Amino acid sequence: MKNILVLCTGNSCRSQIAQAYLQKLCGDKAKVYSAGIETHGVNPRAIETMREDGIDISHHTSNHIDEYTHLSFNFIITVCDNAKENCPYFPGNAKRFQHNFTDPAKAKGTEEEIREAFRKVREQIKVYCEDWASKELL
């Protein structure tokens, strides 16, 4: 079984969404973790937008990267530039991937415009995860 770490700034939206999609896609081929270089709590809008796609992340927790330094990862995926630039060194030969997704938590506007920003990022992450999993694990 492979270990995958999805890393973001606050472990509240993008990494939570990616963790959920990757775990669904990888099934028993991988254990997927998500963490942040900070912890901001799981964003309620991330929970809501994933629920719209049939995935429950309400049980997820916001974890700090330091909680996983004892684990060996096969893959580390950073989903924002800030996390890539501040990712600590992990021993081993983890294959690293980077994609900078817009932070939906910073969206401004009406409630519907903010929800739409979350949906847009969710769909971008879903497509990225499907593509990544098909190339790296499946």
Active site residues: 8, 80, 87
- The 10 Å Cβ neighbour count of residue 74 is 17
Write out the H or E segment, with its range, that includes residue 133: helix 111-136
Q: Tokens 């501040």 sit at which residue? A: 86
Angle at 101 between CA 110 and CA 124, to 5 degrees: 80
DSSP letter, residue 87: P
The sign of the torsion formed by the CA atoms of 76, 79, 80, 83 equals: negative
DSSP letter, residue 68: G
